[in-house]
Structure 1
């Protein structure tokens, strides 16, 4: 039976994660319910491509198991982007900023039994660590290829869109909230704000686009921060460097 991890947040409820072929899969109905789908079965059928059967412990009877539909990260992402729930973006931030990083950090799922010796447990842990290092190296190769693709991009994107592209295409788990925190840490965006600093604008990383919105009380002008192609390349390289530093720590 697949390992089970449970994540819970009062605002959304509970999501269960199982391991399928050494990859994290999520109980599909948990994700659909958290995202406010009234008909969870229809939502899963409409938006998920890689649904697979899995088995988890029965919550009331340790001698029984439950059969559930499990989905990978890509299908969870599809449910998020198609959700009409106002808090879908907050759910996305929770998953990408907290849940998935926790799974990555505790990944490997070292299975042990009571009759295993300390040496056997250590040997298995070393195998898991080696797999994680090899996996990180493969991810870095993919990220390098992606950087070359966007380096010549002339289209600017919202910070939210950049976070989604990075998470979907590179395996770097980061949401809009965390990416803004990075931009502030790197000195590109003002503290407690989404407004870019002049330095970021001068370097061609970020730009501000003005627009108007009409409401019942009048017409308002608003400013939106966007990331240029050059800025997208810069962000990816900075995140790539952080990943390389993590690999050095594992080695």
Structure 2
């Protein structure tokens, strides 16, 4: 990444970066200037869009920075107990941001072939870092995504397979969690869970060995029911296998 530009607020230095034409400020600099005793803790608590990136300090040394956009600066201002926090906000709005937007894109250009090579290497490293993060987070959303994006009903066996269980094991577990009870050969929801749209049933005609017909009822879980099971199982410490792989 590029070398941060430094702005001075009274006796404090605040480093800034321009990322994809968006002004960012170094989080710790902002928090320190606003009087937070633990800048790192303050940014973790109050900043919603902080990101980590690589840059170079005024001596050319490569460093990792946590940077925040304009919206997070205002969040830190609001939570600050510093008497001149409002003055700092005005300084950011009226001096810093306009200056970054006006000159940042030019001052970030490499001034030599060596700097250009260094910038290219930094950008490639950042790209690989971001691709890795995407790959790490992708499995985490896959299971819920499949529930929310599907409209098809599923069998108990299909849901059980998500947890590495058999249908019999899942049925017994749901019975223990007061979700359903067995009446004859059929699992039925307890009254408090009926009429919630969790299941969908239909009858099928089959033939016995002697050729006589028999009517059986097949019950499947809707995606709403599948989501209900997921939330219930999660609260009891049971996670689908794909989530367990994410935690490993």
Question: With structure 2 as the length reference, what TM-score do the two structures score?
Answer: 0.42
Question: With structure 1 as the length reference, what TM-score do the two structures score?
Answer: 0.41
- Structure number with greater Rg is 2
